[in-house]
Amino acid sequence: MTRIDDTFARLKAEGKKAFVAYVMAGDPDYETSLEVIKGLPGAGVDIIELGLPFTDPMADGPTIQLAGQRALEAGQTLEKTLQMARELRKTDDKTPIVMMGYYNPIYSRGVGRFLTDAREAGIDGLIVVDLPPEEDKELCIPAQEAGLNFIRLATPTTDDARLPKVLQNTSGFVYYVSITGITGAAEAQAGDVGPEVERIKAQTDLPVIVGFGIKTPEASEAIAGVADGAVVGSAIVGEIAAGKPVAEILAFVKSLADGAHRA
């Protein structure tokens, strides 16, 4: 049982849906980013998705691309991202941390070394958007053997023939991408998402969390109402990009979390 498994078991017992928040590590700088991350659990965040900045983030829209650029320009690295997890773990041993990004920085560090360091830092799961199931031997299976969940994305174009392959070595939860395209583009619609979530749940016992296109507390509540939880990234990153005080950013996060928890 990982922290992710424990969190979903607790939420289920409480009759609540999960709220997952994405932030880009190191955006706009290390100190501000760490302050935001440390404040997320108190704002009602059940799982933290910690973005690993990368120079060529092909799945991300302008908001998260720019966040990655700001972080890299401020000197953020994979090592500093792991250090952020270590800092959070000094005061919080319960909130799961999922590192989300691309394979290149992990490959450059070396898979074995990365997994050892990630586990030691308190990382609970990985989302690596550019590693398909056909490449599971690269990272997915070693990660699971090291005790980390490997979380896979399913999309509106993942048909019934492809879905079993996507689910094959997935653990922790399934991340359903509610819209076709890049992050932060269109708005997610619960009426479209609900049947897709049911289709996935017919083939797995894992929780299904929905992200992309959720920007308001009302949308967070609506999407969580048809899934096991909601993920918000671009809307939070946008608040950080606007240079708002950390307290204001966390108040916005709390409004989104409250929406999901009302579902």
Catalytic (active site) residue 49? yes
**Residue 20: inside a domain:** yes
Residue 136 domain-assigned (yes or no): yes
Quick one: tokens of 239?
Answer: 């608040």
Q: What is the pLDDT of residue 188?
A: 78
If pLDDT is split at 50, 70 and 90, which confidence band does 51 have?
Answer: very high
Residue 143 has pLDDT above 70, yes or no: yes
What is the C-alpha separation between 159 and 155, in angstroms, rounded?
9
Active site residue 135: no
Q: Is residue 262 part of a domain?
A: no
Query: Please, are residues 260 and 211 in contact by the beta-carbon 8 Å criterion?
Result: no
Residue 232 backbone dihedrals phi, psi, to 5 degrees: -125, 130
Residue 19 sits in a domain whose CATH number is: 3.20.20.70
What's the number of domains the chain is made of?
A: 1
User: Is residue 263 a part of any domain in this protein?
Assistant: no
**Residue 19, number of CB atoms within 10 A of its CB:** 28
Interacting residues of 191 by C-beta distance below 8 A, sequence separation 6+: none
pLDDT at 24 over 80: yes
Count of CA atoms in the C-beta half-sphere (13 A) of 91: 11
Asked if the structure places residue 77 within a domain, the reply is yes
| Tens-place pLDDT, residues 30-47 | 999 999 999 999 999 999
**Residue-wise DSSP of 161-209:** TTHHHHHTT--S-EEEE-SSSSTTSS---HHHHHHHHHHHHTS-SS-EE
Of the residues 5, 46, 49, 221, only one is catalytic, namely 49
Tally DSSP H helices, then E strands, for the chain. 12, 9
Which H helix or E strand runs over 233?
A: none
- Residue from 27, 60, 124, 239 carrying the catalytic annotation: 60
Chain segment 172-206, per-residue pLDDT in tens: 999 999 876 655 556 778 888 999 999 999 999 99
Q: Is residue 138 part of a domain?
A: yes
Share of the chain above pLDDT 90, in %: 91
In a domain, 143, yes or no: yes
pLDDT in tens, 61-115: 899 999 999 999 999 999 999 999 999 999 999 999 999 999 999 999 999 999 9
pLDDT value at residue 60: 85
Tell me, what's the pLDDT at 13?
97
Residue 167 lies in a domain: yes
Domain that holds residue 183: 3-257
Query: Is pLDDT at 156 greater than 60 in this prediction?
Result: yes
Dihedral sign computed on CA atoms, order 231, 16, 120, 153: negative
What's the pLDDT score for residue 122? Answer: 98
* pLDDT at position 185: 57
